[in-house]
Structure 1
Amino acid sequence: MAKPIEIQSAEQFGELLKNSRIVVADFYANWCGPCKQIAPIYEQLSRSLSRPKIATFVKVNTEAEGAKAVATEYAVTHLPTFIVFRDGSVVEKVKGANPKQLQSIVEKLSNDIENAAQGGASSSGSSGGLAWRGADLPRGYADISDSIDVRGLELLNADETHFSVRTLFNKAKPSALSKDKDTASSGEKDWIESDTDEQLLLYTPFNSAIKLHTIQITSLPPSDEDDDDVPMRPKTLKLFTNRPHNLGFDDADDIEPTQAIEIGEDDWNSNGTANLGLRFVRFQNITSLVIFVADGDGDGEKVRLDRIRLIGESGEKREMGKLEKIGDELGE
Protein backbone atom coordinates (compact mmCIF):
# COMPACT_ATOMS: atom_id res chain seq x y z
CA MET A 1 0.00 0.00 0.00
CA ALA A 2 3.07 2.18 -0.16
CA LYS A 3 6.05 2.64 -2.42
CA PRO A 4 9.46 1.45 -1.17
CA ILE A 5 11.27 3.86 1.15
CA GLU A 6 14.59 5.17 -0.16
CA ILE A 7 17.23 4.78 2.55
CA GLN A 8 19.31 7.90 3.18
CA SER A 9 21.45 6.78 6.13
CA ALA A 10 22.41 3.83 8.31
CA GLU A 11 20.59 5.50 11.21
CA GLN A 12 17.34 5.66 9.24
CA PHE A 13 17.69 1.98 8.31
CA GLY A 14 18.36 1.03 11.93
CA GLU A 15 15.21 2.82 13.07
CA LEU A 16 13.13 0.96 10.49
CA LEU A 17 14.53 -2.37 11.69
CA LYS A 18 13.46 -1.46 15.22
CA ASN A 19 10.00 -0.19 14.31
CA SER A 20 8.86 -2.70 11.69
CA ARG A 21 8.65 -6.45 12.39
CA ILE A 22 9.53 -7.31 8.78
CA VAL A 23 11.79 -5.25 6.52
CA VAL A 24 12.53 -6.15 2.90
CA ALA A 25 15.53 -4.33 1.42
CA ASP A 26 16.46 -3.99 -2.26
CA PHE A 27 20.17 -3.19 -2.65
CA TYR A 28 20.78 -1.66 -6.09
CA ALA A 29 22.79 0.83 -8.14
CA ASN A 30 21.66 3.25 -10.85
CA TRP A 31 24.02 1.71 -13.44
CA CYS A 32 22.77 -1.85 -12.80
CA GLY A 33 20.61 -3.09 -15.70
CA PRO A 34 19.07 -6.10 -13.88
CA CYS A 35 18.27 -3.81 -10.93
CA LYS A 36 16.22 -1.58 -13.24
CA GLN A 37 14.46 -4.56 -14.82
CA ILE A 38 13.22 -6.00 -11.55
CA ALA A 39 12.47 -2.63 -9.91
CA PRO A 40 8.81 -2.47 -11.15
CA ILE A 41 8.16 -5.94 -9.74
CA TYR A 42 9.63 -4.96 -6.39
CA GLU A 43 7.54 -1.77 -6.29
CA GLN A 44 4.40 -3.78 -6.99
CA LEU A 45 5.22 -6.13 -4.11
CA SER A 46 5.75 -3.14 -1.85
CA ARG A 47 2.38 -1.65 -2.77
CA SER A 48 0.66 -5.00 -2.19
CA LEU A 49 2.26 -6.13 1.06
CA SER A 50 3.55 -3.15 3.03
CA ARG A 51 1.81 -2.59 6.38
CA PRO A 52 2.63 0.18 8.90
CA LYS A 53 5.00 -1.13 11.60
CA ILE A 54 4.55 -4.69 10.30
CA ALA A 55 6.06 -4.92 6.81
CA THR A 56 8.27 -2.24 5.26
CA PHE A 57 9.90 -2.32 1.83
CA VAL A 58 13.01 -0.20 1.30
CA LYS A 59 15.57 0.52 -1.44
CA VAL A 60 19.25 0.99 -0.68
CA ASN A 61 21.37 2.70 -3.32
CA THR A 62 24.78 1.14 -2.73
CA GLU A 63 26.56 4.16 -4.26
CA ALA A 64 24.61 6.90 -2.50
CA GLU A 65 26.31 8.82 0.28
CA GLY A 66 24.89 7.67 3.59
CA ALA A 67 23.51 4.37 2.29
CA LYS A 68 26.87 2.77 1.40
CA ALA A 69 27.43 1.83 5.03
CA VAL A 70 24.27 -0.29 5.05
CA ALA A 71 25.45 -2.34 2.07
CA THR A 72 28.86 -2.79 3.67
CA GLU A 73 27.38 -3.86 6.99
CA TYR A 74 25.36 -6.66 5.38
CA ALA A 75 28.14 -7.83 3.04
CA VAL A 76 26.32 -6.98 -0.20
CA THR A 77 28.62 -7.83 -3.11
CA HIS A 78 26.12 -8.68 -5.87
CA LEU A 79 23.50 -6.39 -7.43
CA PRO A 80 20.68 -6.52 -6.98
CA THR A 81 20.53 -8.25 -3.61
CA PHE A 82 17.29 -8.61 -1.65
CA ILE A 83 17.48 -9.16 2.10
CA VAL A 84 14.52 -9.93 4.36
CA PHE A 85 14.77 -8.99 8.05
CA ARG A 86 12.54 -10.25 10.84
CA ASP A 87 12.77 -8.46 14.21
CA GLY A 88 16.07 -6.93 13.10
CA SER A 89 17.74 -10.18 12.00
CA VAL A 90 18.40 -11.48 8.48
CA VAL A 91 16.12 -14.40 7.57
CA GLU A 92 16.42 -14.53 3.77
CA LYS A 93 18.93 -13.32 1.18
CA VAL A 94 18.53 -13.41 -2.62
CA LYS A 95 21.42 -12.48 -4.88
CA GLY A 96 20.64 -11.37 -8.42
CA ALA A 97 17.46 -10.39 -10.22
CA ASN A 98 15.79 -13.75 -9.75
CA PRO A 99 12.01 -13.21 -10.02
CA LYS A 100 11.02 -16.79 -9.21
CA GLN A 101 13.12 -16.91 -6.06
CA LEU A 102 11.88 -13.49 -4.99
CA GLN A 103 8.31 -14.59 -5.66
CA SER A 104 8.80 -17.71 -3.51
CA ILE A 105 10.04 -15.64 -0.58
CA VAL A 106 7.18 -13.18 -0.97
CA GLU A 107 4.64 -15.99 -0.88
CA LYS A 108 6.03 -17.07 2.49
CA LEU A 109 6.14 -13.46 3.64
CA SER A 110 2.53 -12.80 2.74
CA ASN A 111 1.29 -15.38 5.25
CA ASP A 112 3.62 -14.09 7.92
CA ILE A 113 2.53 -10.51 7.32
CA GLU A 114 -1.13 -11.46 7.63
CA ASN A 115 -0.42 -13.33 10.88
CA ALA A 116 1.45 -10.34 12.26
CA ALA A 117 -1.35 -7.99 11.22
CA GLN A 118 -3.80 -10.15 13.17
CA GLY A 119 -1.76 -9.94 16.34
CA GLY A 120 1.23 -12.21 15.98
CA ALA A 121 2.58 -15.12 14.03
CA SER A 122 1.13 -18.55 14.58
CA SER A 123 2.98 -20.79 16.98
CA SER A 124 1.90 -23.94 15.21
CA GLY A 125 5.05 -24.13 13.11
CA SER A 126 3.11 -24.63 9.88
CA SER A 127 4.84 -23.80 6.64
CA GLY A 128 4.61 -20.21 5.53
CA GLY A 129 5.77 -18.46 8.71
CA LEU A 130 9.34 -17.47 9.44
CA ALA A 131 11.27 -19.87 11.61
CA TRP A 132 11.96 -19.61 15.33
CA ARG A 133 15.68 -19.55 16.07
CA GLY A 134 17.49 -20.14 19.31
CA ALA A 135 20.40 -17.81 18.49
CA ASP A 136 21.09 -14.68 16.46
CA LEU A 137 22.18 -15.00 12.86
CA PRO A 138 25.77 -14.17 11.90
CA ARG A 139 25.93 -10.78 10.20
CA GLY A 140 25.26 -11.03 6.48
CA TYR A 141 23.92 -14.61 6.47
CA ALA A 142 20.42 -16.09 6.41
CA ASP A 143 18.56 -19.11 7.71
CA ILE A 144 18.62 -21.44 4.69
CA SER A 145 16.89 -24.43 6.30
CA ASP A 146 14.19 -24.12 3.63
CA SER A 147 16.81 -25.28 1.10
CA ILE A 148 16.57 -28.80 2.55
CA ASP A 149 14.95 -31.46 0.36
CA VAL A 150 12.78 -32.86 3.16
CA ARG A 151 11.76 -35.87 1.06
CA GLY A 152 15.34 -37.14 1.26
CA LEU A 153 15.90 -36.65 5.00
CA GLU A 154 17.05 -39.77 6.86
CA LEU A 155 17.80 -40.20 10.56
CA LEU A 156 19.34 -43.39 11.93
CA ASN A 157 19.03 -44.69 15.52
CA ALA A 158 16.11 -42.48 16.52
CA ASP A 159 13.69 -43.61 19.23
CA GLU A 160 10.67 -44.90 17.33
CA THR A 161 8.21 -43.87 20.07
CA HIS A 162 8.43 -40.24 19.00
CA PHE A 163 10.14 -40.04 15.66
CA SER A 164 9.72 -37.72 12.70
CA VAL A 165 12.97 -36.41 11.28
CA ARG A 166 11.17 -33.28 10.05
CA THR A 167 10.64 -32.38 13.70
CA LEU A 168 14.23 -31.15 13.82
CA PHE A 169 13.43 -28.44 11.26
CA ASN A 170 10.06 -27.46 12.73
CA LYS A 171 9.62 -23.68 12.46
CA ALA A 172 7.86 -23.40 15.81
CA LYS A 173 9.44 -22.59 19.15
CA PRO A 174 10.32 -25.83 21.00
CA SER A 175 7.65 -26.86 23.46
CA ALA A 176 10.31 -27.21 26.17
CA LEU A 177 10.67 -23.41 26.10
CA SER A 178 6.93 -22.83 26.49
CA LYS A 179 5.91 -20.80 29.53
CA ASP A 180 3.00 -23.19 30.03
CA LYS A 181 4.93 -26.32 30.98
CA ASP A 182 1.78 -28.40 31.49
CA THR A 183 0.60 -27.62 27.99
CA ALA A 184 4.05 -28.29 26.58
CA SER A 185 4.37 -31.66 28.27
CA SER A 186 0.88 -32.84 27.32
CA GLY A 187 1.23 -32.14 23.60
CA GLU A 188 2.89 -34.12 20.87
CA LYS A 189 6.58 -34.57 21.49
CA ASP A 190 8.49 -32.20 19.23
CA TRP A 191 12.03 -33.44 19.72
CA ILE A 192 14.22 -36.42 18.79
CA GLU A 193 16.01 -38.87 21.09
CA SER A 194 18.49 -41.56 20.15
CA ASP A 195 17.48 -45.16 20.71
CA THR A 196 19.99 -47.89 21.58
CA ASP A 197 22.89 -45.55 22.43
CA GLU A 198 23.83 -41.87 22.20
CA GLN A 199 24.71 -41.84 18.50
CA LEU A 200 22.59 -40.36 15.68
CA LEU A 201 23.20 -40.07 11.94
CA LEU A 202 21.28 -37.40 10.05
CA TYR A 203 21.39 -37.22 6.25
CA THR A 204 20.30 -33.83 4.86
CA PRO A 205 20.11 -33.29 1.07
CA PHE A 206 19.54 -29.83 -0.46
CA ASN A 207 17.45 -28.61 -3.38
CA SER A 208 20.44 -26.70 -4.76
CA ALA A 209 24.08 -26.20 -3.86
CA ILE A 210 24.50 -24.00 -0.79
CA LYS A 211 27.24 -22.27 1.18
CA LEU A 212 27.06 -23.29 4.81
CA HIS A 213 28.43 -20.89 7.43
CA THR A 214 26.93 -21.95 10.78
CA ILE A 215 24.87 -24.74 12.32
CA GLN A 216 22.58 -23.93 15.25
CA ILE A 217 21.59 -26.96 17.35
CA THR A 218 19.01 -26.74 20.12
CA SER A 219 18.92 -29.43 22.82
CA LEU A 220 16.61 -29.11 25.82
CA PRO A 221 16.74 -32.25 27.98
CA PRO A 222 14.85 -32.09 31.30
CA SER A 223 16.86 -31.10 34.36
CA ASP A 224 16.05 -34.09 36.60
CA GLU A 225 19.58 -35.33 37.29
CA ASP A 226 18.29 -38.16 39.51
CA ASP A 227 16.57 -39.83 36.56
CA ASP A 228 18.93 -42.23 34.79
CA ASP A 229 16.80 -42.04 31.63
CA VAL A 230 17.30 -38.30 31.17
CA PRO A 231 18.96 -37.81 27.75
CA MET A 232 22.14 -35.81 27.20
CA ARG A 233 23.03 -32.92 24.97
CA PRO A 234 25.30 -33.82 22.04
CA LYS A 235 29.02 -33.33 22.62
CA THR A 236 30.98 -34.48 19.55
CA LEU A 237 29.69 -33.81 16.04
CA LYS A 238 31.29 -34.98 12.80
CA LEU A 239 30.16 -33.36 9.56
CA PHE A 240 30.44 -34.96 6.12
CA THR A 241 29.58 -33.11 2.91
CA ASN A 242 28.38 -34.09 -0.58
CA ARG A 243 27.61 -37.71 0.18
CA PRO A 244 25.08 -39.38 -2.19
CA HIS A 245 23.37 -41.11 0.75
CA ASN A 246 23.64 -41.57 4.50
CA LEU A 247 26.66 -43.19 6.08
CA GLY A 248 26.67 -46.24 8.33
CA PHE A 249 27.86 -45.85 11.91
CA ASP A 250 31.08 -47.78 11.26
CA ASP A 251 31.86 -45.56 8.25
CA ALA A 252 31.12 -42.41 10.24
CA ASP A 253 33.62 -43.55 12.87
CA ASP A 254 36.33 -44.37 10.34
CA ILE A 255 36.06 -41.76 7.56
CA GLU A 256 37.80 -38.39 7.94
CA PRO A 257 35.05 -35.77 8.40
CA THR A 258 34.86 -32.43 6.63
CA GLN A 259 34.90 -30.95 10.15
CA ALA A 260 34.67 -32.30 13.69
CA ILE A 261 33.20 -30.13 16.46
CA GLU A 262 33.38 -30.48 20.23
CA ILE A 263 30.52 -28.68 21.98
CA GLY A 264 31.43 -27.39 25.44
CA GLU A 265 29.10 -26.56 28.30
CA ASP A 266 29.64 -22.82 27.73
CA ASP A 267 28.54 -23.11 24.09
CA TRP A 268 24.88 -23.56 25.07
CA ASN A 269 22.91 -20.33 25.51
CA SER A 270 19.78 -19.67 27.58
CA ASN A 271 17.62 -21.11 24.78
CA GLY A 272 19.53 -24.38 24.89
CA THR A 273 21.15 -23.57 21.54
CA ALA A 274 24.76 -23.97 20.45
CA ASN A 275 25.83 -21.64 17.63
CA LEU A 276 28.50 -23.64 15.79
CA GLY A 277 30.63 -21.73 13.28
CA LEU A 278 32.10 -23.81 10.44
CA ARG A 279 35.32 -23.60 8.46
CA PHE A 280 33.49 -21.72 5.75
CA VAL A 281 36.01 -22.46 3.00
CA ARG A 282 35.19 -26.18 3.33
CA PHE A 283 31.43 -25.69 2.97
CA GLN A 284 31.17 -23.74 -0.28
CA ASN A 285 29.34 -25.96 -2.76
CA ILE A 286 27.29 -28.28 -0.60
CA THR A 287 24.59 -30.56 -2.02
CA SER A 288 24.19 -32.74 1.07
CA LEU A 289 25.27 -32.81 4.71
CA VAL A 290 25.63 -35.73 7.10
CA ILE A 291 25.60 -34.81 10.80
CA PHE A 292 26.99 -37.57 13.00
CA VAL A 293 26.36 -37.20 16.74
CA ALA A 294 29.24 -39.33 17.99
CA ASP A 295 28.61 -39.00 21.71
CA GLY A 296 26.76 -37.06 24.38
CA ASP A 297 27.86 -34.78 27.19
CA GLY A 298 27.46 -36.95 30.27
CA ASP A 299 26.96 -40.52 31.45
CA GLY A 300 23.49 -41.10 30.03
CA GLU A 301 22.53 -43.53 27.30
CA LYS A 302 20.63 -41.24 24.95
CA VAL A 303 21.03 -37.87 23.23
CA ARG A 304 18.25 -35.35 22.61
CA LEU A 305 17.88 -32.88 19.73
CA ASP A 306 15.04 -30.32 19.59
CA ARG A 307 15.88 -28.14 16.59
CA ILE A 308 18.50 -27.65 13.89
CA ARG A 309 18.94 -24.48 11.86
CA LEU A 310 21.33 -24.17 8.90
CA ILE A 311 22.80 -20.72 8.29
CA GLY A 312 24.58 -19.57 5.15
CA GLU A 313 23.76 -18.65 1.55
CA SER A 314 21.31 -20.37 -0.78
CA GLY A 315 22.62 -21.52 -4.13
CA GLU A 316 22.12 -19.43 -7.24
CA LYS A 317 19.34 -20.88 -9.39
CA ARG A 318 19.41 -18.49 -12.35
CA GLU A 319 21.96 -16.41 -14.21
CA MET A 320 21.47 -12.66 -13.83
CA GLY A 321 21.42 -12.17 -17.60
CA LYS A 322 18.31 -14.29 -18.16
CA LEU A 323 15.73 -11.64 -17.41
CA GLU A 324 14.06 -10.98 -20.76
CA LYS A 325 10.79 -12.60 -19.61
CA ILE A 326 10.67 -11.14 -16.14
CA GLY A 327 7.20 -9.71 -16.66
CA ASP A 328 5.76 -12.98 -17.92
CA GLU A 329 7.21 -14.96 -15.02
CA LEU A 330 5.44 -12.85 -12.43
CA GLY A 331 2.27 -12.32 -14.38
CA GLU A 332 3.03 -8.79 -15.48
Structure 2
Amino acid sequence: MSHCHDGSCGHAHDDDDHVKPGEGQQDLLYSCINRDGVIALNEETPGSGVKVLKPYDQRASEDEYLESSADDQLILYIPFTGSVKLRSMMLKTGPADQTPSEIHLYVNRDDLDFDAANELSALPDTATAAAGGQGRPAQKLTSIPVTRDPVEIPLKPAKFPDVRSISLFVPSSVGGDTSRIYFVGFKGEHRQMRREGPTNIIYEAAPSLKDHQKVKGTEAGASSFGQGQ
Protein backbone atom coordinates (compact mmCIF):
# COMPACT_ATOMS: atom_id res chain seq x y z
CA MET A 1 0.00 0.00 0.00
CA SER A 2 1.25 3.48 -0.82
CA HIS A 3 1.60 6.04 1.96
CA CYS A 4 1.91 9.81 2.12
CA HIS A 5 4.80 11.18 4.15
CA ASP A 6 4.74 14.79 5.33
CA GLY A 7 1.80 15.49 3.02
CA SER A 8 3.78 14.82 -0.13
CA CYS A 9 3.04 11.18 -1.04
CA GLY A 10 6.77 10.55 -0.97
CA HIS A 11 7.61 13.54 -3.18
CA ALA A 12 8.48 16.68 -1.27
CA HIS A 13 10.37 18.16 -4.23
CA ASP A 14 10.18 18.09 -8.00
CA ASP A 15 13.87 17.61 -8.74
CA ASP A 16 15.20 14.26 -9.90
CA ASP A 17 17.28 13.80 -6.73
CA HIS A 18 14.10 13.15 -4.76
CA VAL A 19 12.27 10.91 -7.23
CA LYS A 20 11.88 7.27 -6.22
CA PRO A 21 13.20 4.48 -8.47
CA GLY A 22 10.75 3.70 -11.25
CA GLU A 23 9.16 7.12 -11.14
CA GLY A 24 9.88 10.12 -13.35
CA GLN A 25 8.85 13.73 -13.06
CA GLN A 26 5.71 12.89 -15.02
CA ASP A 27 4.60 10.25 -12.51
CA LEU A 28 4.56 12.25 -9.30
CA LEU A 29 1.13 10.95 -8.20
CA TYR A 30 1.89 7.23 -8.39
CA SER A 31 2.68 7.12 -4.66
CA CYS A 32 -0.50 9.06 -3.85
CA ILE A 33 -2.80 6.26 -5.03
CA ASN A 34 -4.47 4.13 -2.36
CA ARG A 35 -4.00 0.85 -4.19
CA ASP A 36 -5.86 -1.17 -1.56
CA GLY A 37 -9.03 0.79 -2.31
CA VAL A 38 -9.04 0.44 -6.12
CA ILE A 39 -12.20 -1.18 -7.51
CA ALA A 40 -12.93 -2.23 -11.11
CA LEU A 41 -16.43 -3.14 -12.27
CA ASN A 42 -17.04 -5.59 -15.12
CA GLU A 43 -13.42 -6.74 -15.12
CA GLU A 44 -12.65 -10.03 -16.85
CA THR A 45 -9.95 -10.96 -14.31
CA PRO A 46 -10.63 -10.12 -10.65
CA GLY A 47 -8.04 -7.74 -9.23
CA SER A 48 -6.77 -6.59 -12.62
CA GLY A 49 -7.90 -2.98 -12.14
CA VAL A 50 -5.13 -2.07 -9.72
CA LYS A 51 -2.50 -3.70 -11.93
CA VAL A 52 -2.80 -1.00 -14.63
CA LEU A 53 -1.72 1.65 -12.09
CA LYS A 54 1.94 1.04 -12.84
CA PRO A 55 5.12 3.02 -12.17
CA TYR A 56 6.08 5.43 -14.93
CA ASP A 57 8.92 3.27 -16.21
CA GLN A 58 6.45 0.40 -16.78
CA ARG A 59 3.95 2.47 -18.75
CA ALA A 60 4.64 0.63 -22.03
CA SER A 61 4.42 -2.85 -20.53
CA GLU A 62 1.65 -5.16 -21.75
CA ASP A 63 2.22 -7.89 -19.17
CA GLU A 64 -0.77 -6.76 -17.10
CA TYR A 65 -4.00 -5.18 -18.33
CA LEU A 66 -7.63 -4.49 -17.44
CA GLU A 67 -10.21 -5.91 -19.84
CA SER A 68 -13.98 -5.76 -19.63
CA SER A 69 -16.01 -8.94 -19.30
CA ALA A 70 -19.73 -8.98 -20.13
CA ASP A 71 -19.50 -6.18 -22.71
CA ASP A 72 -17.24 -3.24 -23.56
CA GLN A 73 -18.11 -1.05 -20.55
CA LEU A 74 -15.75 -0.51 -17.61
CA ILE A 75 -15.67 1.49 -14.38
CA LEU A 76 -12.36 1.98 -12.58
CA TYR A 77 -12.55 3.64 -9.14
CA ILE A 78 -9.21 5.07 -7.95
CA PRO A 79 -8.93 6.61 -4.46
CA PHE A 80 -5.98 8.74 -3.39
CA THR A 81 -4.31 8.81 0.02
CA GLY A 82 -5.08 12.53 0.28
CA SER A 83 -6.27 15.41 -1.88
CA VAL A 84 -4.62 15.96 -5.27
CA LYS A 85 -4.95 18.44 -8.11
CA LEU A 86 -4.92 16.76 -11.52
CA ARG A 87 -3.45 18.29 -14.67
CA SER A 88 -3.30 15.33 -17.05
CA MET A 89 -3.96 11.61 -17.35
CA MET A 90 -1.54 9.14 -18.90
CA LEU A 91 -3.04 6.21 -20.76
CA LYS A 92 -2.18 3.14 -22.78
CA THR A 93 -5.07 1.23 -24.33
CA GLY A 94 -5.90 -1.02 -27.25
CA PRO A 95 -5.17 -2.90 -29.30
CA ALA A 96 -7.12 -1.26 -32.14
CA ASP A 97 -10.86 -1.89 -31.73
CA GLN A 98 -10.50 -2.55 -27.99
CA THR A 99 -9.54 1.09 -27.47
CA PRO A 100 -12.18 2.96 -25.42
CA SER A 101 -14.26 5.29 -27.57
CA GLU A 102 -14.48 7.74 -24.67
CA ILE A 103 -13.54 7.96 -21.01
CA HIS A 104 -15.73 9.96 -18.63
CA LEU A 105 -14.12 11.18 -15.41
CA TYR A 106 -16.10 11.44 -12.17
CA VAL A 107 -14.56 13.14 -9.14
CA ASN A 108 -15.14 12.08 -5.53
CA ARG A 109 -17.84 9.53 -6.33
CA ASP A 110 -17.57 6.20 -4.51
CA ASP A 111 -21.15 5.21 -5.35
CA LEU A 112 -20.94 5.16 -9.15
CA ASP A 113 -22.47 2.16 -10.91
CA PHE A 114 -23.31 1.53 -14.56
CA ASP A 115 -26.92 2.68 -14.29
CA ALA A 116 -25.87 6.05 -12.86
CA ALA A 117 -22.89 6.42 -15.19
CA ASN A 118 -24.93 5.77 -18.32
CA GLU A 119 -27.66 8.16 -17.20
CA LEU A 120 -25.35 10.99 -16.13
CA SER A 121 -23.02 10.64 -19.11
CA ALA A 122 -25.95 10.99 -21.50
CA LEU A 123 -26.60 14.54 -20.31
CA PRO A 124 -25.32 17.34 -22.60
CA ASP A 125 -21.85 18.75 -21.97
CA THR A 126 -23.38 22.14 -21.17
CA ALA A 127 -24.87 20.55 -18.07
CA THR A 128 -21.55 19.18 -16.81
CA ALA A 129 -21.14 19.83 -13.10
CA ALA A 130 -18.66 22.37 -11.79
CA ALA A 131 -15.57 21.39 -9.85
CA GLY A 132 -16.38 19.16 -6.92
CA GLY A 133 -17.45 16.17 -8.93
CA GLN A 134 -20.86 15.51 -7.44
CA GLY A 135 -23.22 14.49 -10.19
CA ARG A 136 -22.23 14.60 -13.84
CA PRO A 137 -18.75 13.81 -15.17
CA ALA A 138 -16.18 16.53 -14.52
CA GLN A 139 -14.74 15.95 -17.99
CA LYS A 140 -15.38 13.68 -20.97
CA LEU A 141 -12.36 12.51 -22.94
CA THR A 142 -13.87 11.98 -26.36
CA SER A 143 -10.77 11.56 -28.53
CA ILE A 144 -8.82 8.59 -27.20
CA PRO A 145 -5.89 7.95 -29.57
CA VAL A 146 -5.99 4.52 -31.22
CA THR A 147 -2.37 3.57 -30.58
CA ARG A 148 -0.35 1.03 -28.61
CA ASP A 149 1.91 3.82 -27.35
CA PRO A 150 1.34 5.53 -23.98
CA VAL A 151 -0.21 8.99 -24.39
CA GLU A 152 -0.73 11.95 -22.08
CA ILE A 153 -4.15 13.60 -22.21
CA PRO A 154 -4.48 17.14 -20.77
CA LEU A 155 -7.26 17.68 -18.23
CA LYS A 156 -9.00 20.89 -17.22
CA PRO A 157 -7.29 21.74 -13.90
CA ALA A 158 -10.21 23.91 -12.79
CA LYS A 159 -12.40 20.79 -12.76
CA PHE A 160 -9.93 18.76 -10.68
CA PRO A 161 -8.69 21.03 -7.85
CA ASP A 162 -9.55 18.83 -4.86
CA VAL A 163 -9.63 15.18 -5.92
CA ARG A 164 -9.81 12.46 -3.27
CA SER A 165 -10.94 9.82 -5.73
CA ILE A 166 -11.57 9.56 -9.45
CA SER A 167 -13.75 7.12 -11.36
CA LEU A 168 -13.10 6.30 -15.02
CA PHE A 169 -16.20 5.24 -16.96
CA VAL A 170 -15.70 3.62 -20.36
CA PRO A 171 -19.10 3.64 -22.13
CA SER A 172 -17.90 1.63 -25.13
CA SER A 173 -14.95 0.58 -27.25
CA VAL A 174 -14.31 1.87 -30.76
CA GLY A 175 -15.55 -1.41 -32.21
CA GLY A 176 -14.55 -4.43 -30.15
CA ASP A 177 -16.65 -6.67 -27.96
CA THR A 178 -14.51 -5.65 -24.99
CA SER A 179 -12.39 -2.68 -23.89
CA ARG A 180 -8.79 -3.01 -22.71
CA ILE A 181 -6.50 -0.71 -20.72
CA TYR A 182 -2.80 -1.35 -20.06
CA PHE A 183 -1.78 1.73 -18.11
CA VAL A 184 -3.36 4.62 -16.21
CA GLY A 185 -1.33 7.36 -14.54
CA PHE A 186 -1.86 10.91 -13.34
CA LYS A 187 0.15 14.10 -13.41
CA GLY A 188 -0.53 16.90 -10.96
CA GLU A 189 0.25 17.90 -7.42
CA HIS A 190 -0.56 16.78 -3.92
CA ARG A 191 -2.43 19.28 -1.77
CA GLN A 192 -1.07 19.52 1.77
CA MET A 193 -3.56 19.80 4.61
CA ARG A 194 -3.69 23.18 6.33
CA ARG A 195 -2.14 23.10 9.79
CA GLU A 196 -4.92 25.20 11.27
CA GLY A 197 -7.65 22.89 10.02
CA PRO A 198 -9.55 20.26 11.99
CA THR A 199 -7.35 17.62 13.57
CA ASN A 200 -9.87 14.80 13.63
CA ILE A 201 -10.19 14.23 9.88
CA ILE A 202 -10.02 10.53 9.04
CA TYR A 203 -9.29 9.22 5.54
CA GLU A 204 -10.54 5.74 4.73
CA ALA A 205 -7.37 3.78 4.07
CA ALA A 206 -8.98 0.75 2.45
CA PRO A 207 -12.70 1.04 1.64
CA SER A 208 -14.57 -2.13 2.54
CA LEU A 209 -16.81 -3.48 -0.19
CA LYS A 210 -19.66 -3.77 2.30
CA ASP A 211 -19.48 0.00 2.75
CA HIS A 212 -20.20 0.56 -0.95
CA GLN A 213 -23.67 -0.86 -1.26
CA LYS A 214 -24.48 1.26 -4.31
CA VAL A 215 -21.51 0.06 -6.34
CA LYS A 216 -22.65 -2.78 -8.56
CA GLY A 217 -20.25 -5.56 -9.37
CA THR A 218 -18.30 -5.66 -6.13
CA GLU A 219 -20.04 -8.71 -4.77
CA ALA A 220 -19.44 -12.30 -5.89
CA GLY A 221 -20.01 -12.66 -9.58
CA ALA A 222 -18.94 -9.12 -10.29
CA SER A 223 -18.08 -9.89 -13.87
CA SER A 224 -21.76 -10.23 -14.71
CA PHE A 225 -22.27 -6.50 -14.34
CA GLY A 226 -21.45 -3.87 -16.89
CA GLN A 227 -24.10 -4.40 -19.52
CA GLY A 228 -25.26 -1.04 -20.80
CA GLN A 229 -28.77 -0.11 -19.79
TM-score by length of 1: 0.46
Residue 200 (structure 1) aligned to one of 74, 87, 91: 74
Q: Partner residue of 1:130?
A: 23
Instruction: Give deviations 1:76-116, integer Å, cap 9, x for gaps.
Output: xxxxx731238xxxxxxxxxxxxxxxxxxx5x73xx3xxxx
Change beyond 3 A, Cα 1:168–1:143 = same
Work out the CA distance in 1 between the residues paired with 2:59 and 2:87.
22
1:313 partner letter: E
2:140 partner letter: A
Please list, as runs of the form range in 1=range in 2, the aligned pairs for 1:39-118 lying within 5 A after superposition: 82-85=13-16, 106=18, 109=20, 112=21
Residue 232 (structure 1) aligned to one of 82, 98, 102: 98
1:170 partner letter: K
Q: Partner residue of 1:150?
A: 35
Q: Partner residue of 2:53?
A: 169
The share of aligned pairs that are identical, in percent, is 24
Instruction: Give deviations 1:47-81, integer Å, cap 9, x for gaps.
Output: xxxxxxxxxxxxxxxxxxxxxxxxxxxxxxxxxx7
1:304 partner letter: R
Q: 1:214, 1:276 within 8 Å by CA — same for their partners in 2?
A: yes
Work out the CA distance in 1 between the residues paired with 2:35 and 2:72.
24
Q: 2:94, 2:146 within 8 Å by CA — same for their partners in 1?
A: no
2:168 partner letter: I
Greater fraction helix: 1
Instruction: Give deviations 1:255-309, integer Å, cap 9, x for gaps.
Output: 2211111124xx356x5223221111010011111110111112x1001100001
Q: 2:99, 2:180 within 8 Å by CA — same for their partners in 1?
A: yes
Q: 1:246, 1:290 within 8 Å by CA — same for their partners in 2?
A: no
Q: Partner residue of 2:113?
A: 248
Q: Partner residue of 1:274?
A: 151
Q: Partner residue of 1:309?
A: 185
1:190 partner letter: E
Q: 2:99, 2:146 within 8 Å by CA — same for their partners in 1?
A: no
Q: 1:242, 1:289 within 8 Å by CA — same for their partners in 2?
A: yes
The structural deviation recorded for 1:145 is: 2.3
Work out the CA distance in 2 between the residues paired with 1:279 and 1:210.
14
Change beyond 3 A, Cα 1:307–1:217 = same
Q: Partner residue of 1:33?
A: none
Q: 2:59, 2:150 within 8 Å by CA — same for their partners in 1?
A: no
Q: 1:174, 1:190 within 8 Å by CA — same for their partners in 2?
A: no
Give secondary structure in 2 for the equivalent of 1:235: coil
Work out the CA distance in 1 between the residues paired with 2:154 and 2:87.
6
**RMSD of aligned C-alpha atoms?**
2.6
Structure of higher CA gyration radius: 1
The answer to whether residue 174 in structure 2 is matched with residue 297 in structure 1 is yes
Change beyond 3 A, Cα 1:317–1:274 = same
Work out the CA distance in 2 between the residues paired with 1:148 and 1:200.
19
Q: 2:86, 2:187 within 8 Å by CA — same for their partners in 1?
A: yes
Q: 2:100, 2:173 within 8 Å by CA — same for their partners in 1?
A: yes
1:257 partner letter: P
Q: 1:214, 1:277 within 8 Å by CA — same for their partners in 2?
A: yes
Q: Partner residue of 1:74?
A: none
Work out the CA distance in 2 between the residues paired with 1:214 and 1:308.
11
Give secondary structure in 1 for the equivalent of 2:89: strand
Give secondary structure in 2 for the equivalent of 1:314: strand
Gaps (5+ residues) in structure 2? 1-11, 121-135, 197-229
Gaps (5+ residues) in structure 1? 1-80, 87-105, 113-128, 177-188, 224-230, 321-332
Instruction: Give deviations 1:121-162, integer Å, cap 9, x for gaps.
Output: xxxxxxxx326xxxx94xxxx5312211111110000102x7
